[in-house]
Amino acid sequence: MSETMAPFAKMNGAGNKIVVADMRARGDHVTAQAAIALAQNEETHFDQLMAVHAPGPIGKDAVIEIFNSDGSRAGACGNGTRCVVTRLDVPVNGKFFSFEVDGHPLKAIRGEDGMVTVNMGVPRFEWDQIPLEEEFADTTGIQLQVGPIDNPVLHTPSVVNVGNPHAVFWVEDDVNNYALDKFGPMLEHHMLFPERANISIARVAGNGSLDLRTWERGAGLTLACGSAACAAAVCAYRLKKTGRKVDVSLPGGMLHIEWREDNFILMTGPTEHEFDGFFDPATGAWERAA
């Protein structure tokens, strides 16, 4: 193994494809080019890459930089954070973890059952906090639709920022009936979203749970998106569709979301380790661990 190589773990959180890169012993950073190269390889393809750096003087367990598969940066990834907790397992205080992501604190706790809960912070609903290009007084449903004006396929999404911007379209039938792979890219880059957006289709199930599919900003159609599950859950509560505790069913698995009375969102779910390897943070060249 070359000295330029850093260790990584290929993992997934409820199907969300994750690479956890351990950069704590290094002074360099993963480049966008390296992230793109890893994402383009079939074996190392990811939705998000979590580059984990030493905490420095801020008293956290680590600083995390998050890359999408297109090389762009993400402000949050709950599924990826759970993978970091499972893989590194280096809390300062027992089962409690504290990270810094994009300049913001992010806390997690590892349960006795192996499940990891991440405190995703507080949602932001004001139009300029999401952000949107124009003002909307009510973000539980904004004027945006897919299809003909007189007979739209989807319309009036709820919008929220949960570390990154989300738009959630509500439907009453199967979420798989909609060509999210077709209109997801268009809506991600819609002029209404100056920082792009994650686009989801959600349905309230009979037991108060949610079915969800997401086109993820910078990653595309994913098996799971933790922040989208949080976004759908809080928007469902705002619309009086569910209570504060919701099970969100995604193509890759189940996440449990709780929007607490103190405004913080808790996300709990599983993680899975696939294999270990080493990669060059500058180029993305990689090899499997022996």
Catalytic residues: 77, 225
DSSP conformational letter for 58: G
For residue 124, give the DSSP letter: B
Helix ranges (H only) for 168-278 are: 180-188, 226-238
Closest CA to 19 of 61, 62, 63, 69: 69
**Residue 93 DSSP code:** B
Is residue 109 within 8 A of residue 46, CB to CB? The reply is no
How far is 84 from 277, CA to CA, in rounded Å?
A: 15
Q: How far apart are CA 273 and CA 23, in angstroms?
A: 18
Kindly write down the DSSP assignment for every residue of 4-34, as one continuous string: T-EEEEEEEETTEEEEEEE-TT-S----HHH
In contact, 247 and 258? CB cutoff 8 Å: no
